[in-house]
Amino acid sequence: MSIFDIEIVKKYIRMCQDGWEQGWHERNGGNLTYRMKAEEVEACRPFFREPGEWVNMGVAGANLAGEYFLTTGSGKFFRNVEPDPEHSIGIVEINDKGDAWRIVWGLEGGAKPTSEFPSHFMNHSVRVAATNGECRVIYHAHPANIISLTYVLPLTARDFTRALWKSATECPVVFPGGVGVVPWMVPGGADIALATSELMKEYDAAVWAHHGLFCSGPDFDITFGLMHTIEKAAQICVLALSAGQGKIRQTISDDNLRAIAKEFGVTLNENFLD
Ligand code: 13P
Ligand code: ZN
């Protein structure tokens, strides 16, 4: 028996491999965190080592005090998670003030949690509050098509949401609340963490201009599926704009969007409809 026989660790590693196979994780691009359930922490505890030092995060989330997170390591490659998990991923514990982490498993050889841990942490904090504790996964990736749209569409939630909803019929069902957009900012610190978490109070996904996408969800399937759906819609949008040289001959109308919402029983964000 090893920690890699535990179901949640297997599923976490599988999601990293899936993201790598999609081409969303060049080099060390992207990061994944999972807020563990109490029983998952207990299943993993026999494999914990003497905890490391507490490290302050520069952000705080009191509602996450005492939680444990699976996290990818900073500078670590998604490509290497499956063949070398001990050096690529780890488990961190959060202190009782909700403002510092310490490593209890993995991240061997002096590795640290992702540089985007402050953004993940603040997103977890607001999504836990917004979903009555349902949200457990925050996923950041660098998918090429959604990034490329940040060079040609206005950087607003309304413009991105409408473009994506109209690029694939299932989109309004998968993300009826729409997507937020963060303007270009320096990655890896408290400022971008706070800007993103402000948007995540309202949205379960946020685009980072000229950088990538953050998605949240209750489990790996839903969160990976959200990333996949948004990126697929972005790809269709890029292909249609390219093929038509910017001219769109016909598209899904706002009345069509309302009809989809009615049929599938979802409530679309009215701010984004004409
Ligand atoms: P890390 O290697 O620190 O996770 O950073 C990758 C990244 O995508 C930064 O936004
Ligand atoms: Zn990134």
Q: Choosing from 40, 67, 93, 116, which is the catalytic residue?
A: 116
SS (H, E, C) the chain: CCHHHCHHHHHHHHHHHHHHHHCCCCCCCCEEEEECCHHHHHHHHHHCCCCCCCEECCCCCHHHCCCEEEEEECCCCHHHCCCCHHHHEEEEEECCCCCEEEEEEECCCCCCECCCHHHHHHHHHHHHHHCCCCCCEEEEECCHHHHHHCCCCCCCHHHHHHHHHCCCCCHHHHCCCCCEEECCCCCCCHHHHHHHHHHHCCCCEEEECCCEEEEEECCHHHHHHHHHHHHHHHHHHHHHHHHCCCCCCCCCCHHHHHHHHHHHCCCCCHHHCC
Cβ–Cβ under 8 Å, residues 55 and 104:
no
Phi, psi of 44 (to 5 degrees): -85, -20
- Provide the residue-wise pLDDT of the chain in tens; the chain has 274 residues: 999 999 999 999 999 999 999 999 999 999 999 999 999 999 999 999 999 999 999 999 999 999 999 999 999 999 999 999 999 999 999 999 999 999 999 999 999 999 999 999 999 999 999 999 999 999 999 999 999 999 999 999 999 999 999 999 999 999 999 999 999 999 999 999 999 999 999 999 999 999 999 999 999 999 999 999 999 999 999 999 999 999 999 999 999 999 999 999 999 999 999 9
Domains along the chain with CATH numbers: 1-115 (3.40.225.10), 119-126+134-274 (3.40.225.10)
Cα within 13 Å of Cα(184), Cβ side: 6
Beta bridge partner(s), residue 68: 93
Q: Is 116 a catalytic residue?
A: yes
Using the structure block, give the residue that is written with the tokens 């510092």: 100
Query: Which residues line ligand 1 at a C-beta cut-off of 6 Å?
Result: 28-31, 72, 74-75, 114-116, 140, 187-188
User: What value, to the nearest 5°, has the Cα angle with vertex 216 and ends 210 and 221?
Assistant: 115
Quick one: which atom of ligand 1 is closest to the CA of 73? 4
Taking the centre of ligand 1 as the mean of its atom positions, its distance from the CA of residue 58, in whole angstroms, is 17
